[in-house]
Amino acid sequence: MDKHIMKSANEAAERIIEWGEAHKIETCFERAEKLKPCPIGEKGACCKVCHMGPCRLVGKNAEEEARGVCGATLPTVAARNLVRMIAAGTAAHSDHARDMVLTLLAAATGEAKDFQITDVRKLYRVAGILGIEFEGRPVNDVAKDVALRFLEDYSRQKGEINYAKRAPKKTQERWRKWGIVPRNIDREIAEAMHRTSVGVDHDPDHLLLHGLKTAIADGWGGSMISTDITDILFGTPRPVKAEASFGIFKEDEVNLVVHGHEPSLAEMIVDVASEPEMIAYAKSKGAKGINLGGMCCTANEVLMRHGIPTAGGFTNQELGIMTGLVDALTVDVQCIMPAIAELSKKFHTKIITTSEKAKIPSAVHIEYDEHRAREIAREIVKLACDNYQNRKTEGSHITDKFPVVAGFSHEYIEYMQGGRWRASFRPLNDAIMAGRIRGVVGLAGCDNPRVPSTGIHKYLATELIKNDVLIVSTGCGSAACGTAGYLTPEMALEHAGPGLREVCEAIGIPPILHLGACVDNSRILTILSAMAEEGGLSDEIGGMPGVGIAPEWMSEKAIAIGCYFAASGVPVIFGGESPVGSSEEVTRIMTEVWYERFKGAMHFEPDPEKMLALALDYIDKAREALKLKK
């Protein structure tokens, strides 16, 4: 008898996968099994930046002896490959951020009439950081100035990105010493591509320093800009109750799912779906109403702000369709499997691409334009309603769902520790100093079909909180926890160590705080900076008892994120095989050398138990160095 191999650690997902197998429907899980990674490319030893190759630098003494046709060594090739990943990841987050800036500008000038400034307080806070006068001025004038100032982060040729100054002074000093304060986001990405093209930069350390500079342009540039503008336009999140997993789909309502990363159209769809006219339209098609759901990070955006339920993260996108209950799935950009278009033909689901940047053959394309946002959102909602009538009975109808509490912006975390007038990070710092909280881990990144998907997230989440480690989560890390039922205050009672439980009960928070989408990893940077400023711990981000973990990462964006945390002073642990594993030199630079210079590091460790041990070790060593209670 075949030994059953678990493909997802999520029970509901596993049931759908099994149903799919029985019906000969292929998903990323089978494809991952069939398509083993190329062992040379996987470790970063393949160079294809010119057409004399691809050169595969393998062999027993490859590090010392192997050369490409041009003479490139293995460390050069591995470093170049990683820098290109950072550049691509930074481009993704920051191009998304650019669109947010342009939407803010269009809203401020009245060109995008469907959008307004929702959070004026946040606008003023951002204007204050940027040194833009806001008192007594019309809100839209301030918003316009903020947008124009952010656009400079995409065009200034010399100088520093606006938000570099938000990092603690000492962190900034380290960056300046090593010449890695970004000038503008696009320039660092372009330079990364230039330096890694054939015959340019060949020194691995020098290449990787530019990689860090590019990554900082992501974290303290694009991602932070995107988080701030999204808050300004759509509201700064505060805790909200919602639900997660496949059971969020309703049998008797139109199920419309928003998937991808960009919040603007999704926000409009949320708004439009509650219009009486739209609900009446859904009813005219025989449905009882309109039920919205989300996937990946578009889900996180609307979950954080409106409590829209999530069907989960990356590996759930095909499975969602396989419930047979999804009438329409809109996708914007990033982490969208092209496979969904083909798969949807076996069901009744309409896949709707909406970005001018992203089309999938055979999907319906309804292009989003912020100037006609409401009109387009209505068109999409209507299409989903029309398709409700085509729903067949096929599919694996799963009813499991779990409650989640999400919506922990850094502003709210500050507020919950002292109310509006005494908001601060003092209680968190005190709890860490007293040892009630041993440390903080950012549990983030993708879920991956190459491991029992979501399983390592679940393992680390439970083990870390058992060890009194507070978790802040984002992206599909949050989705993995949410669909497992871990994002509730009860989780603290059941699983947290005594110190963490006490803190969670006193403040009334879950031990895993859902901070939002992947761009919202920037909120963690803000929190760490505030903790440094608060005093009592480290006076820079480096040296804090904190670690970042992306146990199931797969996207280039995750690499950019990991690197900006490392550059900021956070030791980072990624799961899976190392994309620079072929080179001991590059591995040493990214762990030892980076740690020496920035107090951050980037490790790759496939074994979940070792990941946990390494994280706790970093936390304990930081506590020891800070002379904190054991």
Nearer to ligand XCC, 63 or 447 (CB): 447
**Least gap, CB of 334 to ligand XCC (angstroms):** 6
Angle between helix 475-483 and helix 296-306 axes, rounded to 10 deg: 70
Q: Report the largest interatomic distance among the alpha carbons of the chain, rounded to a whole angstrom.
A: 76
H helix runs in 152-184, sequence order: 169-177
Q: Which of 47, 126, 272, 446 contacts ligand XCC by CB under 6 A?
A: 446
In the complex, the smallest distance separating the C-beta of residue 288 from ligand XCC, rounded to whole angstroms, is 31
Indicate whether 572 belongs to the interface with ligand XCC (CB under 6 A): no
558 is a contact residue toward ligand XCC (CB under 6 A) = yes
Binders of ligand XCC in range 266-305 (CB under 6 A): 296-297
| Site for ligand XCC, residues 353 to 392, rule: CB under 6 A | none
Q: Which of 350, 347, 340, 342 is nearest to 387 (CA)?
A: 350
Question: Contact with ligand XCC (CB under 6 A): which of 335, 464, 530, 628?
Answer: 335
- In the DSSP assignment, the letter for residue 115 is -
Q: How far is the CB of 489 from ligand XCC (least distance, A)?
A: 24
Binding mask 498-537 for ligand XCC (x = CB under 6 A): -------------------xx-------------------
DSSP H or E run through 293 = strand 290-295
User: Is residue 17 a contact residue for ligand XCC (CB under 6 A)?
Assistant: no
Q: Does 445 bind ligand XCC (CB under 6 A)?
A: yes
In this structure, the strands spanning 46-47 and 55-56 are antiparallel
Confirm or reject binding of residue 340 to ligand XCC (CB under 6 A). Answer: no
HSE (CB half, 13 Å, CA atoms) of 513?
29
What is the smallest separation between the CB atom of 261 and ligand XCC, expressed in angstroms?
Answer: 6
- Number of residues near ligand XCC (by CB under 6 A): 15
* Binding of residue 74 to ligand XCC (CB under 6 A): no
Rounded Cα–Cα distance for residues 24 and 434 (Å): 56
CB of 556 to ligand XCC, least distance (A): 8
- 216 and 178 Cβ atoms separated by less than 8 Å: no
Distance CA 487, CA 239 (A): 11
Select from 396, 555, 582, 591 the one that contacts ligand XCC (CB under 6 A): 555
Query: Is the Cβ of residue 308 or residue 476 nearer to ligand XCC in the bound state?
Result: 476
CB of 474 vs ligand XCC, minimal distance in Å: 7
CA distance 211 to 7: 34
In whole angstroms, what separates CA 356 from the centre of its chain? Answer: 22
In 508-607, which residue ranges form alpha helices assigned H by DSSP? 521-534, 556-568, 584-588, 594-598
* Rounded to 5°, angle at Cα 309 from 218 and 491: 85
Work out which of 124, 314, 412, 604 binds ligand XCC, going by CB under 6 A: 314
Distance from C-alpha of 12 to C-alpha of 319, rounded to nearest angstrom: 9
Q: For residue 405, give the 3-state DSSP assignment.
A: strand
DSSP structure class, residue 316: G
Name the one range near ligand XCC by CB under 6 A: 196-204, 380-388, 452-460, 550-558: 550-558
Stretch that binds ligand XCC, among 264-272, 277-285, 534-542, 555-563 (CB under 6 A): 555-563
Query: Residue 239 Cβ, how far from ligand XCC at the closest point, in Å?
Result: 21
Indicate which single residue of 219, 222, 449, 475 sits in contact with ligand XCC (rule: CB under 6 A). Answer: 475
* Choices 30-38, 147-155, 420-428, 554-562 (CB under 6 A): range interacting with ligand XCC: 554-562
| Nearest-angstrom CA–CA distance, 269 and 380 | 8
CB of 314 to ligand XCC, least distance (A): 4
Burial of 502 (0-12, 13-18, 19+ CB in 10 A): middle
Contact 464, 474 (CB under 8 A): no
Choices 367-375, 398-406, 552-560, 616-624; region in contact with ligand XCC by CB under 6 A:
552-560
Distance of CA 289 to the CA centre of its chain: 31
The yes or no reply on residue 101 touching ligand XCC (CB under 6 A) is no
* Contacting positions for ligand XCC (CB under 6 A): 261, 296-297, 313-314, 335, 445-446, 475-476, 517-518, 555, 557-558
